Structure 1
């Protein structure tokens, strides 16, 4: 299964008397962590010496990027520094589209591309709508492990998702009357000391596999009392999902 965050981009063209600012004819789709192009262009090239193009978040007026009189002043909001880019060689042809890299869940919202020239001005509003799905794969059925042996409880997300997008992964054992923390991964760090004493020093992630989106758990020296339901719960921004593994120790 894939861990995906999709961005749907729709543009509303606004017609001015001097020129029309255009966008795409339909929605665009981009996954979390990838790049998305917010189209903004005019039919005919405009003089560069008096041209100004502003990309802003409509809700907050945050400046995403600015092109002004042949230059790109370094005045963009810090959240977009090194993530928002013009296609510099295309500006002279009337293409003011913006490339937004490393797409985040919080990038959802409205963006305005405002174009000013000596002739006139025009703008278009770009809306990024988040359709969020966080899907996690694990064991599709219960697994059996001999007492005293090691066992792997599977939990993984799509390999193209960067680990820094996964803010938290918690493995928990759920019983009828208690919720036991088995192992915690938080902000790119594993916290073995947070494990319940029944699992301390017996559980670990496959460290080399985490960059691939693999948060499977190795449980060492299986005990009879380890029998039960284990849940791998992942959090990425406002998204969360989980997968369940049932462990049945055998003699």
Structure 2
């Protein structure tokens, strides 16, 4: 646009810029203008409040719109050369639109229009397909943030389970925060650290369990905007270890029922020898419990619940020794076997059980209280020490 005294020029094409970046809105004249009486006003065509104002030789930030405060700046040292361009920092989606640069000098005025078009929004993408895996495998849940968003500009990124709003992994202040996770995901989830600068915030979920099935959401917050994507962990196939666990469980249940039926039948027949009945009784005591012992071993390998596995395995082995005391044919056993059974009295069984079970309880509780103060840990240690001592004293007492 041309006036009698000067020409105001701007860009010929709209400006396309990435979210969160800085942009220069060009505005300049073809010849220098005197600073005295010069007024340069930047505004939006959809608002009467100035974006920024230069008047009486200085910038007037106090008249700016609140949204542009500390974000819009003149190149003050260039104004005397006729450069009235405006730098706009930390671009947001709301900054999209038409801007006018109006120049007033010696009762003459002119203007140009600058358009910011197609500000890139916050885009978060994941996987369009459901993910299936075998129990015990590692899976990757995809989440990518547009590469123009730098990791240091991300205010918060979280992975959550949508059922129950369970926190799976949190990225805050440019670092992952494992201490904020739900207990069942601790030590099982992580980012691909080398991929984060590329905008890849995919999640690695290690040793998948059956209860991990569900919908996971990756949610990103930056520049006053938020976006999310979801990933479905749908089908969890049984692994070989799971099939072995089911085999031993079925064998224990069906075997116990079969042995019990055989024992009842043999006892009802006077022709059956006591040796046969005794062998059935021994099998009924040992076989189901040993089968369940191995079932829990495989359960521990697939699901990873150490505390429950140790306790359940100890219980199943202990039941063998406890049930043997109900053996009505103990007197028919050989002397060395009878001596061994009597040596494994209930007092010693209780002592062994106490050491195994409570040591696992104590270790697990100690790990869970690692983030607590030393006072909490001392109290916890004293409590478990008291429990172990009480159980030991009880085991030294009379059989019951």
Shorter-chain TM-score above 0.5: yes
- Equivalent positions of 1:126-165 (< 5 A) are 126-139=114-127, 143=131, 145-148=133-136, 151-163=139-151
The separation in 2 between residues aligned to 1:106 and 1:88, in whole angstroms, is 26
1:36 is aligned to 2:23: yes
Q: SS in structure 2 opposite 1:161?
A: coil
1: CA distance, partners of 2:131 / 2:51: 50
Based on CA coordinates, which of the two structures has the bigger radius of gyration?
2
- With over 3 angstroms needed to count, the CA separation of the structure-2 counterparts of 1:67 and 1:203, relative to structure 1, is farther
The residue that corresponds to 2:209 in the other structure is 223
Name whichever structure is richer in helix by fraction.
Answer: 2
- Equivalent runs, 1:79-158 vs 2, <5 Å: 79-139=67-127, 143=131, 145-148=133-136, 151-158=139-146
Task: Give the match's secondary structure for 2:14.
Answer: coil
Give the drift of 1:151.
4.1
How far 1:150 moved relative to its partner? 5.2
Q: 2-side partners of 1:231 and 1:168: how far apart?
A: 13
Q: Say if 1:241 and 1:16 are closer, same or farther in 2 by CA, change over 3 A.
A: farther
Contact in 2 for aligned 1:227/1:248 (Cα 8 Å): yes
Query: In the TM superposition, what is the alpha-carbon distance from 1:156 to its structure 2 partner?
Result: 2.4
Partner-residue secondary structure (3-state), 1:28: coil
9, 13, 27: which one pairs with 1:22? 9
TM-score (ref. length: structure 2): 0.47
Cα shift at 1:108: 2.0
Structure 1 contact 168–184 (Cα < 8 Å) conserved: no
5+ residue gaps, structure 2: 240-400
C-alpha deviations, 1:27-56, integer Å up to 9, x for none? 222101111111112222111122111112
Distance 1:24 1:112 in 2: 12
* Cα contact 1:193–1:200 (8 A) shared by 2: no
Residue 52 (structure 1) aligned with residue 39 (structure 2): yes
Instruction: Identify which of 41, 48, 60 aligns with 1:61.
Output: 48
Name the stretch that deviates more: 89-98 or 181-190.
181-190
**Deviation of residue 118 (structure 1)?**
0.7
Q: Deviations over 1:189-227 (max 9, x none)?
A: 999999889x56577564977676443334354211323
Count of aligned residue pairs for this structure pair? 234
**Distance across 2 between alignment mates of 1:49 and 1:248:** 75
Bigger share in strand: 1
Is the Cα contact below 8 Å between 1:228 and 1:248 reproduced in 2? no
User: How many Å separate the matches in 2 of 1:106 and 1:164?
Assistant: 21
Which stretch of structure 1 is more off in the superposition, 126-135 or 96-105?
126-135
- Cα deviation code 1:71-107 (max 9, x no counterpart): 2244253533432222233322212111112211221
